[in-house]
């Protein structure tokens, strides 16, 4: 095997090792998480999700005489999906995000 071929193979191995290392470190730094998101059109504002979320992520409030249920504290959401599964209107979807913890 001549020197040129060895250099090319070495370069390819180096690139592959960077890709693998990148994936490894990115996996260490970032993690995929799920958070709840209320689909406004479907939500009937029954408040059940607010009641069952023990992390107090969701809130129902009245704005301009209109009741609104929304994710007030997304940072508290554990992505458990309990609210989505129990919503009678299927008005909560779990959204994937990338976070540091």
- Residues in touch with ligand SF4 (CB under 6 A): 36, 38, 43-49, 53, 55, 57-58, 69, 77-83, 87, 89, 91-92
Closest distance to ligand SF4 from the beta carbon of 14 (Å): 43
Beta pairing class for 31-38 and 58-63: unpaired
Closest distance to ligand SF4 from the beta carbon of 13 (Å): 44
Residue 58: φ, ψ to 5°: -95, 155
- CA distance linking residue 45 with residue 74, whole number of Å: 18
Closest distance to ligand SF4 from the beta carbon of 58 (Å): 5
Cβ closest to ligand SF4, residue 1 vs residue 62: 62
Closest distance to ligand SF4 from the beta carbon of 9 (Å): 49
β-bridge partners, 69: 60
Cβ closest to ligand SF4, residue 81 vs residue 97: 81
Closest CA to 49 of 40, 62, 36: 36
Residue 63: φ, ψ to 5°: -125, 120
């Amino acid at each position: 095997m001549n020197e040129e071929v060895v250099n090319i193979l070495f370069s390819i191995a180096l690139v592959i090792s960077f890709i693998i290392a990148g994936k490894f470190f990115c996996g260490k730094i970032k993690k995929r998480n799920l958070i709840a998101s209320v689909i406004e059109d479907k939500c009937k504002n029954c408040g059940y999700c607010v009641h069952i979320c023990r992390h107090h992520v969701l809130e129902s409030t009245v704005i301009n005489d209109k009741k609104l249920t929304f994710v007030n504290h997304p940072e508290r959401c554990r992505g458990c999906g309990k609210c989505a599964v129990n919503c009678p209107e299927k008005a909560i979807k779990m959204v994937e995000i990338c976070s540091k913890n």
